[in-house]
Structure formats: C-alpha cells, structure tokens
Structure 1
Amino acid sequence: MLRELYPNNDIYLLARPFMCEIFARNTSEKLHVIADKRYESGNTHSVFAKAKYLKQYQFAMAILFRGSLSEALLCTFAGIKYILGYRQNGRTPLLSHGLKLNPNHHYIHRYCQLVNDCHGQPFKRYSLPKLSYQTTDMIVKHETHTPVAVYFGGKNKGPRHYPNELALQTLQRLAKQKEVHFYLLGDPSEKEESQQLASQLAADDISATVLTGTTSLSELVDCIAACQLMISIDSGPMHMAVAVNTPCVAIVGFGTSAWSVVAPKNKQFTALISQSCSLNEYEIITAISPQQITQAALELLAPD
C-alpha cells in the first residue's frame, strides 16, 4: 500500500535485529531495513540515542505498527512531523494522525487500515502477506519421503505447548498412514525436547531430522517452504507456513492473543481449536487429540 502511495520515495523499516534477515530478502532499490538496536542482546541503546540516529534520515512520516508509548516518543524525539498510529497507551498527544483501535480487527486489518484511513481510504481491500524463500536441498533432502515440518513448541511456550507424549502419538499415527520424514523445528531452548521426540521416533523406525536451534530465521522459512505440510502450534512458524503457501495444520489451545485476530487466512490451512472447558490453561490444548491432527494432516496431504 505504501509503495503504491509513494512510488518514488525511500521506505525504511525499523525492525528488531533478529527479524532483519527476513525483511532484507524483500527489499527493493527503495526499501531499506534498519536494525533497532534497542532490542539487541546486551545493547544499551536508549530511546534518545536511537532518536538521534534516526534524525539524520530526516524522515517526513512514521507509521507505528506497534502500540507502545516508546515508539511514539522515539519518532517525536527524531523530529518526525507526521506520526500515524493507534490512540493507545497514553500516546495520543504525540500522534499527528491517530485512529481508535478496534481490538476485534485482525492484525493484518489493523496495519492496513492505519495506512488506508490516514490517507483518505484510497484502498478497498488488502493483500495477504507473503514471504520470499529460496529453493534449496541443503536442508530438506528426502525425495522418497513426504517432508513434513513440525513445531509443537517447548515448555517455554507455556499453555501453547503441545505435550511431547501427544506429539509422539500424532507423528506415529501419521507415519503409519504415509511415508514421511519429519523436520523438527524450534529455537535453541527447545532442542532437548525435540531430541527426545526424535529418539522416540527413531525407536519406531520413523525418520526425523532435528533442526531445532540450528537454523537461521531465513533458513527456517526455506525449510518450511520446502516441506509439503506443516504441523504447528499457534506460533511464528505457523504464520511462516501460510506466508510461503505450505499447507498447515494448527493446534490451537490457549494463546497469547485472541485466535480470531491472529488466525491465518489461507485455503490450505486447517485450525484445530480446542473446545476444552478446563480452567487449567495448560490442559486446554490437550483436548485436541492425535487422531484429529492426523486426520487433518492427511486431508491436506491428499492429492486434489
């Protein structure tokens, strides 16, 4: 939307450092990425220091997709005249163009509406996000088996984590129905759980590769794009799968946001949403059975 509105302007994206490599793939001649070092591990960059750095660019306009007060302060201190954002967290006086937030709107709707409404509503619809990826056999190599990416999360994911014993049953069931090779994904803190799951699968002669904690963010995207299916909890990898058009089964228990405002929009996406009445948040996701997940996976893997 911004490129259509400003075809000849340079657009800069201020992103957390770990996200920069993803966005850098989508840059063009006039689209640039700046690492927000305030969020870099061990860095002590303050709002004032970052504002001083941004001031040299002489930005005319800033669009705040994040809702924090600090973002509005950052743009104000950087001397940016037009600041677009939602009126929340006490930052209304700092915005030149402020919209009232409707928390029922999907996140994609929120971001696009912010651009659209502040420019006089020139657009009637928005496009769904897509991620660039590279086709490679460096990570996903098994041509005789159907490659399936898997992310059940770890205990660090709290109530979103799908317990290992149920995860194991799920993959065992799927492996009985189809010749598959599983790629276990996750961050370094989840590696021990993935290795345990891989060992249990190996005991049943089910092939699996542990990629947990070994891939960069862009390699994670490439891996998911190379697979024919993704099985995931409500997570970043789930959204990556949809953005590269890999069919995905999502296991949705108690999340960090209402499911209705984060649910991916894709025809090759199946969400299994817990109907549990448990008052224990950690038990909610366990109401989704391995049988349900396997059935949903097989339906997405079935040829048209």
Structure 2
Amino acid sequence: MDEEQDKQQDVRVPRDFDSLRSVIIDRKSTMPKRLMQVAAYALAHPDEIAFGTAASIAAAAEVQPSTLVRLAHHLGFDGFSDLQTVFRERLRDRTLSYEERLATLEQGAAASSEDELLTGFIAAAGQSVARLAQTIDRDAFSRAVGLLAKAETIYLVAKRRSYPLTAHMAYAFGKLGIRHQTIASPNGIDSEIAQFATARDAAIAVSFAPYAAESLSQAQALHERGVPLVAITDSAFSPLATCAAHWFEVAEADYGGFRSLSASMALAMALPVAIAEKRRSLDRSGKISAKK
C-alpha cells in the first residue's frame, strides 16, 4: 500500500497512548507489513519512541526513517513529531502509586527472587547511564559550565525525588569552595531566599514528570529576576526547558515503575567538578578576580 492509499484510511487521530494502542491493534490485519513492524516496535518500546530521534528509532526498528512518517500519516498525524508527542505525554501521565509499583513487581520475576529484583534495578541504572552517554550534548554541557562558573552564587532548586541531586551538588560545592544556596528551607522562606538572587548569580533547577509545582514556580521566579538558569529534566516539553538558558534532557529507565536516578546523579556529580575546574581556569586568567 503506498502513501496515497494510506491517506484514504478512515482516520480517527488518537491523542493518548491507550487510544493509539487500540487503533493500532484494530488495524493490525490491514496495516502494511513495514508499518506494522514499526508500530509493533513502538508499542513494545514506548520510552525509546518518546526520547529517540527518527534515525535512531528507525535503526532500532529496522526500517527506513520515511516509514515512521508513513506510519504517522497512516494514523492521521501531521508527521512523526506529532505522533511522538503521544509517547511523551504518556511519560508525563505515568504516575503509578508505590502500591501499584510493588504490585507490578509481584507479578514479575522479582516476586520469587531478590536476585532478580537487584538485577533489574542494576540493569535500569546501566541503561540510564548508557543512554545519557549517547545523547548528552557535550557543547551544551561546556556552555552551562561556563555560565555557572562565572556566577557569584549558584542557587539550587529541587523537590521530592529530584532533591538528592541538588543535595549532592550542595555537598560538592561546599567541599570545592563554591558559593551556593539551596532553596529548600525548613521554615518556609524559600521565596525570600530566592529574592537575594541577581543576574550576577545563576541557578540549577531539577524536576522530572510529574513536575514539582514548587520547583517550577521557583525556577520561573528566578528566570523573571534575570537569573540565568540551567535545568536538568526529562523532556523538551518540560516547563523547565522553556525558561532555562541551558537544559539537559535525561531519560531514566525504570524497573517495575521505579525510576533510576543513575544518569541524573552522574550529571550532578560532573557539574560541580567541571565548574570548579572552569573557575580555576578563569581565575588564572584574571576573569573572575576582575569581576570581584
């Protein structure tokens, strides 16, 4: 079936993952072989579809990139990026409770083996770090380090499961002699702390879906004060990406619904050391001292 025939399909455009899955299953018997091949891959590897490029997905599914576009048109989407939004929205909406996650694990191999459970978490951590190594923009990392190295004070913003990342960075900054301030006060004066930040400072904000409302509001407030922001998040659709001078997309693998922090922690460990080294370089050239 060629593309003209694809467009003749009676298309109802699915805008959520469950609807998309139902449409693909309904058309399984009539869908062209290559389209069914990539559709099956998409349903089996939704995270890869959400975060991959057309080239990487096509290679993994063993089809041409044009086949992804044909599939998108076949399903009624404007193009592959339009189809990809369904998979990214799925990640934003995927918020299993811890009881649901434990129930998922009980239904799998880990139910009868602690070794399987440990192996699953180790594998997820390894996948996360390997993916970061393949996808991180080294030039963006260098630019972010350069921005943060020139800051008088680095403000750290994170809540909930993201908080360990900024807690480690605060520890590292303290040991490296870099002035910093965590916006996470036990007495509820976060907004007052943020008001000390100026355009001479910078901030690092971390949040993953479902995004912490406090982190988003604090990051936005800093941005509105002219404070340059570096963000660590999980999607180009993250609210943090829209207000950050530089941002890093980190896709963490999960095991039984429990997401790894391995890749994010690797980035959180690299940033303070890289900033310290950059500051030493700038100090030797007199660029930091001249500002003080």
- Superposed pair shares fold, TM > 0.5: no
**What TM-score, normalized to structure 2?**
0.33
Higher-helix-fraction structure = 2
